[in-house]
Structure 1
Amino acid sequence: MKVVVQVKLMPDAVRASAIGATLRAVNERANWVSGVAFERGVPREYELRKHTYAELKAAGLGAQAAQHAIKKVCDAYATLKANIRAGNLGKPGSKRRVKAESKPIVFRPEAAHPFDDRCLSWQYDTRTVSIWSTAGRLKNVRFACSAGALRMLRESRKGESDLIERDGVFYLIAVCEVPEAPLNENPSGFIGVDLGIVNIATTSTGYRAAGRGLNRHRKRQLELRRKLQAKGTRSAKRRLKHRARKEARHAANVNHIISKKIVTTAERTGRGIALEDLSGIRDRVRLRKDQRAPLHSWSFHQLGRFIAYKALRAGVPLVYVDPAHTSQQCSQCGHIDRRNRVDQATFACRACGFYANADDNASHNIDRKGQDVWTAGRESRVPATP
Structure 2
Amino acid sequence: MKLVVQVKLLPTSGQASALEATLRACNTAASDVAAVARETGVYRNYDLRKQVYAGIKADYALGAQAAQHVIKKVSDAYATLKANLRAGTYGKPGSKRRRKVETNPIGFRWNAAQPYDARMLSWQADARTVSIWTTHGRLKGVAYTGSADQLKAIATSKTGESDLIFRDGMWFLYATVEVCEPELIEPFGFLGVDMGIANIAYDSDGTRYAGDQLNGYRRRQLRLRKRLQKKGTKSARRLLARRNKKEGRHAGNVNHCIAKTIVTEAVRTGRGIAVEELTGIRERVRLCKPQRVTLHSWSFHQLGSFLDYKARRAGVPLVQVDPRYTSQTCNGCGHRDKRNRPDQETFHCRSCGVVAHADHNAALNIAQRGVEGWGAVNRPHAASPCIQ
* Same fold flag (TM > 0.5): yes
**Letter matched to residue 308 of structure 2:** A
Other-structure match for 1:136: 137
**Letter matched to residue 105 of structure 2:** P
In structure 2, do the counterparts of structure 1 residues 330 and 43 end up closer, same or farther at CA, with 3 Å as the change threshold?
closer
Q: Which moved more, 1:55-64 or 1:234-243?
A: 234-243
1:356 and 2:356 correspond: yes
Post-superposition offset of 1:220: 3.0
Post-superposition offset of 1:64: 1.5
- In structure 2, what is the Cα distance between the partners aligned to 1:234 and 1:70? 32
Post-superposition offset of 1:285: 3.5
* 8 Å Cα contact 2:197/2:295 also seen in 1: yes
* 8 Å Cα contact 2:43/2:78 also seen in 1: no
Post-superposition offset of 1:252: 1.3
- In structure 2, what is the Cα distance between the partners aligned to 1:209 and 1:189? 21
**Letter matched to residue 141 of structure 1:** V
In structure 2, do the counterparts of structure 1 residues 219 and 371 end up closer, same or farther at CA, with 3 Å as the change threshold?
same
- In structure 2, what is the Cα distance between the partners aligned to 1:232 and 1:38? 31
| SS of residue matched to 2:122 | strand
- In structure 1, what is the Cα distance between the partners aligned to 2:368 and 2:199? 20
* 8 Å Cα contact 1:276/1:322 also seen in 2: yes
Other-structure match for 2:189: 189
Other-structure match for 1:317: 317
| SS of residue matched to 2:137 | coil
1:147 and 2:148 correspond: yes
Q: Which moved more, 1:243-252 or 1:57-66?
A: 243-252
Other-structure match for 2:75: 74
- In structure 2, what is the Cα distance between the partners aligned to 1:296 and 1:160? 32
Other-structure match for 1:22: 22
- In structure 1, what is the Cα distance between the partners aligned to 2:233 and 2:81? 38
C-alpha RMSD of matched pairs (Å): 2.7
In structure 2, do the counterparts of structure 1 residues 321 and 90 end up closer, same or farther at CA, with 3 Å as the change threshold?
farther
Aligned counterparts, 1:37-186, within 5 A: 37-42=37-42, 44-59=44-59, 60-82=61-83, 87=87, 89=89, 93=93, 95=95, 99-184=100-185, 186=186
In structure 2, do the counterparts of structure 1 residues 286 and 20 end up closer, same or farther at CA, with 3 Å as the change threshold?
same
- In structure 1, what is the Cα distance between the partners aligned to 2:355 and 2:252? 34
- In structure 1, what is the Cα distance between the partners aligned to 2:142 and 2:377? 51
Other-structure match for 2:261: 261
Other-structure match for 2:277: 277
**Per-residue Cα deviation, 1:45-101 (whole angstroms, up to 9, x for no partner):** 3443232222122111122211211222233334445556x6455899454665544
Identical-residue share of aligned pairs (%): 60
| SS of residue matched to 1:245 | helix
**Letter matched to residue 53 of structure 1:** Y
Other-structure match for 1:8: 8
- In structure 1, what is the Cα distance between the partners aligned to 2:376 and 2:24? 53
What TM-score do the two structures reach when normalised by structure 1? 0.88
Q: Which moved more, 1:211-220 or 1:281-290?
A: 281-290
**Letter matched to residue 164 of structure 1:** I
**Per-residue Cα deviation, 1:174-233 (whole angstroms, up to 9, x for no partner):** 00001111022x322111111012111111122221112222222333344455566677
State the aligned residue count: 377
Other-structure match for 1:330: 330
| SS of residue matched to 2:134 | coil
- In structure 1, what is the Cα distance between the partners aligned to 2:234 and 2:289? 32
- In structure 1, what is the Cα distance between the partners aligned to 2:44 and 2:290? 49
**Letter matched to residue 102 of structure 1:** T
What TM-score do the two structures reach when normalised by structure 2? 0.88
Instruction: Extract unaligned runs of 5+ from structure 1.
Output: 380-386
- In structure 2, what is the Cα distance between the partners aligned to 1:239 and 1:35? 30
Q: Which moved more, 1:57-66 or 1:95-104?
A: 95-104
| SS of residue matched to 2:252 | helix
Q: Which moved more, 1:216-225 or 1:250-259?
A: 216-225
In structure 2, do the counterparts of structure 1 residues 222 and 357 end up closer, same or farther at CA, with 3 Å as the change threshold?
same
Other-structure match for 2:385: none
Instruction: Extract unaligned runs of 5+ from structure 2.
Output: 380-388
